Amino acid sequence: MALTRDFKDTVQARAAKDAKFRKALLTESVECFLTGDMETGKTILRDYINATIGFEQLASVTSKSPKSLMRMFSHDGNPRADNIFSILSILQKEEGVQLHVRAS
C-alpha cells in the first residue's frame, strides 16, 4: 500500500521537531530487521531517511547513488547486510544516538 502525501508530510514534520520520534523510527527499523521483518524495516528506514538526512546527502556520505539507495529500501529492494549496517552506522552518527542489542 502506497503512503499518501499527507502521511509522508506528517512523518517529516514530526521528525523535524521531535528527536524522540526520530530515535523511535530508527530503533523500530532495527528491531524489525532483527526479527526478520525486512519489508517493515526497509519501509521505516526509508521514511526515516526521507524525514531526516535525505537520500541525496546519504548518497554523498556512502559514495552510492541516491537512486541505488532508494532502490535498496524500496519494496522490491534486497539490501545486503553490509549496506544496511553501514547506513545504520551513518544514521546513528547523524542522529547522535548509539543503538545496542540486549539479549532477553
CA distances (Å), 23 to each of 42, 49, 62, 76, in order?
16, 12, 21, 25
Q: Give the distance from CA 12 to its chain's centroid.
A: 13
Tell me the pTM.
Answer: 0.88
- Can you give the pLDDT at residue 2? 62
Residue 13: what pLDDT?
Answer: 87
Residues 84 and 10: their CA atoms lie apart, in Å, by: 25
Q: Can you list the residues of the chain whose pLDDT is less than 50?
A: none
Q: What tens digit of pLDDT does each residue of 53-73 get?
A: 999 999 999 999 999 999 999
